[in-house]
Structure 1
């Protein structure tokens, strides 16, 4: 979904997907700043909790101090329906200033994948954030097992939450980068 300056984001429509489908969601926004200006924001894991309604704390693990493929970080999150939890994420792609991605859980079989992609557009950047749910079990799996007849709705609601978070992240990064420019 692409949004030009001044346009509203479209809202995700019903997909009927189940967890095993590894559903994805993405949004993009034009930012009036070059990719090099945005890179510090999208690759800064410590900025994430300031932008997220769920993620409350992050810290690099194993002596890592910044984003590089293979570096891991701890995340602590909270959700009104899912409770509190911790995850370990691994940076799976880090190509400055083009892409930054991390896998939550086992990188070969993650609970979720998250990615920022930065593409130069004129004097600015087309910034995209993308997320995939699954394929590995997550806290959502417990809810699905408790109410298997509602799996499609549970997945849809969670993907809408991902979408809301992505839209919020894009707007915040846009504001920060354009203010700095």
Structure 2
């Protein structure tokens, strides 16, 4: 699997809580910073204070192998109590290649919620690329290992997403 193919990972679980409660948690952009080993903090931009189509927020990230960086995320999908999706842009060009291009999304993330029995099915997806991201730096250094590097990164994302979803479940179900 190559980076330019836009590989993705998806995780889902059942939450014994009503969709409005799960929606409240997944659209709280500050919550992932409390749950993620990589995302450190976020803040809305341009006076926004809640998810709206086209609204942007800044994410401050840290990874032990590549250091710290900033991204700007723009909400590209918003269907009330159903879908919340955003693209991640490398606005500082931290991971831009030799041509300096950093206009394409480095990743696309989405939460989907669906009523199920007495609770909610919660699904999170992440697609890396087509724009460059931190993994691109490693692919540049060892291009013959691209497939292994991509698989490793997807594994990291899956582990972090699973943990994040479990925490959302714990928070949502804690109100019962």
User: Does residue 143 in structure 1 map to residue 138 in structure 2?
Assistant: yes
Distance 2:126 2:64 in 1: 21
| Local SS of the residue matching 1:74 | strand
TM-score with structure 1 setting the length: 0.88
Q: Which among 112, 118, 121 is matched to residue 123 of structure 1? A: 118
Gaps of 5+ in 1: 1-16
User: 1:63-142 counterparts in 2 under 5 A?
Assistant: 63-105=47-89, 109-142=104-137
Correspondence 1:22 to 2:17: no
Distance (whole Å) between structure 2 residues aligned to residue 142 and residue 170 of structure 1: 28
Partner of 1:166: 161
2:147 equivalent in structure 1 = 152
The alignment partner of 2:52 has SS state of: coil
CA contact (8 A) 1:28 1:126 kept: yes
- 3-state SS of 1:64 partner: coil
1:51 equivalent in alignment to 2:35: yes
TM-score relative to the length of structure 2: 0.90
User: Does the 8 Å contact 1:64/1:72 carry over to 2?
Assistant: yes
TM-superposed CA distance for 1:150, in Å, is: 1.1
Query: In the alignment, is the contact (CA less than 8 A) between 1:68 and 1:94 conserved in 2?
Result: yes
| 2:21 alignment counterpart | 37
Cα deviation for residue 24 of structure 1 reads 0.5
Provide the secondary structure at the position in 2 that maps to 1:94: strand
User: 5+ residue gaps in structure 2?
Assistant: 91-102
SS at 1:180 equivalent = coil
CA RMSD in angstroms comes to 1.2
CA distances 1:6-37 after superposition (whole Å, capped 9, x unpaired): xxxxxxxxxxx110111010011000011111
Task: Flag as ranges the 4+ runs of structure 1 deviating above 6 A.
Answer: none
